[in-house]
Structure formats: C-alpha cells, structure tokens
Amino acid sequence: MLLGTQKINSRNHLEIGGCDTADLAAQFGTPLYVMDEQSIRERCRTFKQAFDREYGCSNIAYASKAFIVTAMCALVDQEGLWLDVASAGELYTAKCAGFPMDRIVFHGNYKTADELEMAVELGVKYVVADSFMELELLSAIAEDAGKTQEIMLRCNPGVDPHTHRLIRTGQEDSKFGFNIKNGTAMKAVKQALDCRGIKLSGVHCHVGSQLFDLTPFTEAAPVMIEFIKQIKDETGAPIEVLDLGGGLGVRYLEEHNPPSIDEFAKTVSEAIITACAASDIEKPGLMLEPGRSIAGEAGTTLYTIGAPKEVNIPEEPGVKTYLPVDGGLSDNPRPALYDALYSAILANRAGDAPTKAYTVSGKHCETDMLIPNVLLPEAKTGDLLAVQTTGAYNHAMASNYNRFTRPAVVFVADGKADLVARRETLEDIVKCDVLPERFKGSQTKA
Ligand code: LLP
C-alpha cells in the first residue's frame, strides 16, 4: 500500500513528498518521522470544503494531540483551520507558533487553575468545560481578569463507539463530560448561565477514536440537537455551536477501508440537519476536531534494520525471524497500548516482491513488538524499514524510555525536506536531572 505522495522511484526506493527516503535517512539519521506535507494540507482542505458544502456554517479544529510541533500549528493556521489543544503544553506550542488565539478550543477533563488562567489571559476562543468546579473556577478567573470567557460544555451523549476500550469516550461510563440522559448536563447548563464570568456558547461531545463505522456520530447528533432544544426550552439560552469532536479512522493496513472525509461530512451533516428538522430548531454552527484523520496517514517512520534473528519455536512449525529496528516502544507505543497494527515497506528495495514473514521488534529492554507479522523482501542489516501511518499519536506519545533520544521530524514536500523537530541529544536526556551537592564526586559508601 502506498499513501499520500508515497511512490517507488527509479532507484527502487520509497519516495515521499518527492524525497528519496534513503537520502532522508542519510541526512537526518534514523529513526526519523517523515511527514508528507501535501497529504496533510489536502486533508485540511478536504475537511473544510466537504463540511462547507454539506453543512455550511462549520469550522474544523485540528486536534493537536495527534501530532503537534510549532511548524504543524503554523501549517494548520495557513490552511485556515482552528486548533484543539488539551494542555498548557499544547497551548504554549500554539502560542510560540503565533497561532491566532481566537481560533483555539481548549480541552481537558481536569484543567488546573494555572491552565485556565493561561487560557483566559491568552484569550482562547472557547474553553470546553468538563466539571462543576471548573465552571466556578473559570468564571472567577475570567471575572478577575475583567473578561467574559466563552465556553462549550463537554457532554456525554451515552453512545457506545465500539472501538478500543482505551479510546472510547462517548459511552455513559466515561470520565469525560456531563451526562445528558441523567440530567447532569442540564444542571451544568444552568450553573454556567448563572456564572458571571462565562458565556455558554456551545455544546461538545467526542465519542471515540479510529472509527470506521459512522453510526456513533449519527447516534450522537440527535441526542446533542435534542439537548440544544431542551436548553432553549428550559432556559431560553441560544446555543450557537455544536462540536462533535474527532474520531474518523485511518488506514493502517491494506485491508482497512475507512470512510472518506467526504462521506463522513455528508453523513454527519445529514444527521444533524435531519435532527434539527425533527426537533424544530435552526441548525447551529458546527465544529469538528479531526486529529488522526489529518495527520495519521501523512506520517512514516524510517528505521535502520539491525541483525535479523531466526528463532525456532519447538511447538510451532517453521522458523520465526525477528527483525530488530533502531527504535520501538519509545517512538511508537501504540502496538503495546492498543494492539495497534501497522504496515511496512522495505524502503531501499521498495519495489521488490515480498517473500518472507518478519516480526518487527524494537530495541528496548522488553518485548516491544512493532509489527507481529509483516511480509517483506529478504531484509539485511542496514536496510531501511518504513512503517506507515505513524503521523498521529506516535511523535506525540513518544517517550525517553531506556533514555532513548526522541527522533527528529521532517516535513517533506516538492522534493524538499525541512526539519521541524530536531533529534534529541544525549545532553537533552540529562537536561532535567538535578544532582544534589551531596551526590557530587560520589564514591561507594559501603
Ligand atoms: N477531540 C477530542 C476532545 C478528543 O479527545 C480527541 C481524541 C480528538 C478530538 C481527536 O480524535 P481523532 O480524530 O484523532 O480520533 N492515543 C490514542 C488516541 C486518543 C484519542 C483521544 N482523543 C491512539 O493512539 O489511538
């Protein structure tokens, strides 16, 4: 499978954004996250155009948790999207990139007072409130600052998205949101309307992630619309915005067939428009927060292959071949966390027929398996492995486990590669360590 601008060039190498991946590996080292800029831009545009066409008054906020560096914020700004941030760190990154604060939505089930102060001070457009305490705190902070902070209420529509248990959010038993069905959300609305420092502008829900079936969205839409109507009937307050979160799935494997962005826009828009007609209300402004579906397929991780290791397992027929790569759990924790599966290409012999099954393993001090079973051409030490669809929740979730340095990130487009995050150095690894005086020049005490 080839994604975005990926192709096999005349050197039989995998090329992305017009850049030969072997050249990228030589120039920037491995592991390396390669982001296909054109693919990201196209997806941003497709989202905007599709929702403008199908719904009209809509805004697309890129969910920065999927992948964020300052250059990504700048790209998203250039494409005219909004940005969803979910921590002081993400908000700070957006600020450093000069992202317009009046296009930022600030999320989180537990925002600290410092985070709320930062959001109010910087002037983010919407804070998505997720607890009674937050409503009170935010209102007080905004009043002290002499401002009125616009908010959306994070609601729980009680929809089961049937995705991996760790990325399910819209079901009744969730740490997120005010429950609509049991009346908690209406209580929150009333409290919000009584708070002088805040203005209730919207309602929000996010049902889950990596969804191929759009039913959770079409189930959530009428629940949210009916809630907007109920708010109007009970309090007279107009709700201007409905935010349906993110969640559209992407292609990790050849056999994956997620709905297209156009299909997604059509289905979601129709569900909302139909629900508005049924509830007899005007359609609200619409916001979506795609993360994975913008960044996921645009990312490829390049690794250098170490020494293949053949293992005979007595109870199993044949020989298993482990293919170690120079990264693993620290640059992609998703296989370990979610049993996530990935596709891969032998980047320096990309057009050769796959002949052998490999188990791709990382180089951490544990059984970190990146891909349990992948067919590749015969692979040798020093070959380059390109793992696909690593643009979302890989760099963003990377760690320094085993004190690995986090890889660099490059944006590639039109034959040019730009570094957007440099590789960490060994100095970076110890930069937060503090060695108290009494440990200095330490000698064995025993
Ligand atoms: N909006 C909100 C409020 C969210 O919580 C999320 C994701 C999104 C938008 C974006 O969802 P997306 O379009 O990317 O599905 N680390 C997990 C994914 C966690 C998603 C959390 N929330 C993974 O690697 O699969």
Domains of the chain, start order: 7-35+297-424 (2.40.37.10), 37-296 (3.20.20.10)
**Ramachandran angles phi, psi of 67, nearest 5°:** -165, 120
Q: Given ligand 1 and candidates 67, 72, 84, 289, which is best to mutate, with the most ligand atoms within 8 Å of its CB?
A: 289
Order of strands, sheet of 408-413, starting from the edge strand that comes earlier in the sequence: 344-346, 384-388, 299-304, 32-36, 408-413, 416-421
Amino acid symbol at 370: L
> Using one digit for the tens of pLDDT, what is the confidence trace for 34-79?
999 999 999 999 999 999 999 998 999 999 999 999 999 999 999 9
Banded model confidence at residue 136, pLDDT cuts 50, 70, 90: very high
What are 41's two structure tokens? 């831009």
Q: What is the pLDDT of residue 313?
A: 82
pLDDT at 131 over 80: yes
Rg (CA), the chain: 24
| Cβ of 155 below 6 Å from ligand 1 | no
pLDDT at 180 over 80: yes
pTM, full prediction: 0.97
Q: What is the pLDDT of residue 446?
A: 66
| Cβ of 206 below 6 Å from ligand 1 | yes
- 365: annotated active-site residue: yes
pLDDT at 111 over 80: yes
> Using one digit for the tens of pLDDT, what is the confidence trace for 358-370?
999 999 999 899 9
* Core vs surface per residue 305-340: b (16+ CB within 10 A) or e: bbebeeeeeeeeeeeebebbbbbbbbbbbbbbebeb
Q: What is the pLDDT of residue 442?
A: 67
| Cβ of 43 below 6 Å from ligand 1 | no
What are 264's two structure tokens? 């997604």
Residues, the chain, total? 446
| 300 HSE (CA, 13 A, CB side) | 33
Q: Quick check: 88 and 118 in contact, CB under 8 A?
A: yes
